[in-house]
Amino acid sequence: MSGIGLDRIAAAQERISGRVRRTQLALSDSLSARCGHPVYLKLESHQPTGSFKLRGATNAVLSLGDDAKKRGLATASTGNHGRALAHAAKAEGARAVICMSALVPANKIDAVKALGAEVRIVGRSQDDAQEEAERLVREEGLTAIPPFDHPDVIAGQGTIGLEIADTRPETELVLVPLSGGGLAAGVAAAIKARLPRARVIGISMARGAAMHESLRAGKPVPVEELETLADSLGGGIGLENRYTFAMCRDLLDDVVLLSEEEIAEGIRHAFHEEGEVVEGAGAVGIAALLAGRIDVRGPTVVLVSGRNIDETLHRRIVNPGDAAQSAGARGR
Ligand SMILES: *Cc1c(COP(=O)(O)O)cnc(C)c1O
């Protein structure tokens, strides 16, 4: 079988230990009652940068030599990967350059700067930013750390699977948010090695599910990127995909797609029933259970992948009746 195996994930676990949180596996009373089996939430939303991406980024940075750290790391991600890389680089005394287009909102730029990274503003599209990151690699010797299709990134995300297997070896089902597939590939590799009878199901939004379309086509295909509440799940898997496509093909038992209203319900449930602020991408596992889209046959773990959602949007989703209330009038 292709891809990253247990040895590499175990090595990642040792490497990043003490640098990322070993997050809680919290029993959800309401989801357990609804499903008739214990349901646990793996709260990666509690990582310091608000998502699991800190695991892969930290493992990738720690795997570099001193020279590469000094020359620097480059990425064009403005989202959770960019934050994670900035944080991981700072913690290791490495330079990080995050390339962004002039259209990226100021709050995102400030968030990355506050984490100690250099921000380079170029062009007016994500493609322009990506090109600049590639130029820095080509011409200035920086190292690219991509958000999912990289062995050290996949192995880092896979450490979540080891924690699940160690803490809850009775687990029979794991629900994993799915975009480029670094998270699902790593977690599935760990779970299938340690708990061979457990199923692993990837969850995406119906609007622009790149890995799902690619799995159906039998090869990586481009998909139109559409606006979605699960914005961290947007984007393609890369037509030159080297690892995550084959691993998801070989390791995932199923992929489930959700509507925007189903995702919103997941965000609302997380807030009102679990007391957790969760972004759309992080709520898809909860949403899939609420929508009755998953056949639950035993102890289940739902991976809650992140919490970075615009505050005004979150307020609008969790208090739909309050649309008329001015933002900020109900600070929590
Ligand atoms: C990146 C991300 C995902 C998807 O991870 P992939 O490795 O791209 O599949 C899911 N949830 C959140 C919050 C993310 O930031």
Q: Could you tell me the pLDDT band of residue 323, with boundaries at 50, 70 and 90?
A: low
User: Are 243 and 191 found together in one domain?
Assistant: yes
User: Are 36 and 112 found together in one domain?
Assistant: no
Q: Could you tell me the pLDDT band of residue 331, with boundaries at 50, 70 and 90?
A: very low
Beta-bridge partners for 51 = 306
CA of 105 to the centre of ligand 1 (A): 21
- 30 is annotated as an active-site residue: no
Task: Examine the fold and report which residue of 89, 124, 144 is the final residue of a domain before the chain moves on.
Answer: 144
The pLDDT score that the predictor gives to residue 255 is 98
Contact 172, 164 (CB under 8 A): no
282 CB less than 6 Å from ligand 1? yes
DSSP H or E run through 130 = helix 126-140
The pLDDT score that the predictor gives to residue 3 is 81
Domain count across the chain: 2
- 69 is annotated as an active-site residue: no
Q: Among 140-154, 171-185, 223-237, which stretch is predicted with the lowest mean pLDDT?
A: 223-237
User: Are 180 and 288 found together in one domain?
Assistant: yes
Contact 149, 176 (CB under 8 A): no
Q: Is residue 133 part of a domain?
A: yes
Coil, strand or helix: which one is 258? Answer: strand
Residue pLDDT, tens place only, 248-298: 999 999 999 999 999 999 999 999 999 999 999 999 999 999 999 999 999
CA of 230 to the centre of ligand 1 (A): 9
305 CB less than 6 Å from ligand 1? yes
264 CB less than 6 Å from ligand 1? no
Distances (CA, A) of 107 to 110, 203, 330: 5, 29, 21
Q: Is residue 331 part of a domain?
A: no
Q: What number does the ligand 1 atom closest to the CA of 179 have? A: 9
Contact 240, 250 (CB under 8 A): no
Mean pLDDT over the full length of the chain: 94
Task: Examine the fold and report which residue of 127, 144, 161 is the final residue of a domain before the chain moves on.
Answer: 144
Please give the Cα distance from 121 to 300 (Å, whole number).
43
pLDDT at 123 over 60: yes
Q: Could you tell me the pLDDT band of residue 2, with boundaries at 50, 70 and 90?
A: low
Contact 144, 74 (CB under 8 A): yes
User: Are 156 and 119 found together in one domain?
Assistant: no
Contact 278, 270 (CB under 8 A): yes
Please give the Cα distance from 100 to 89 (Å, whole number).
18
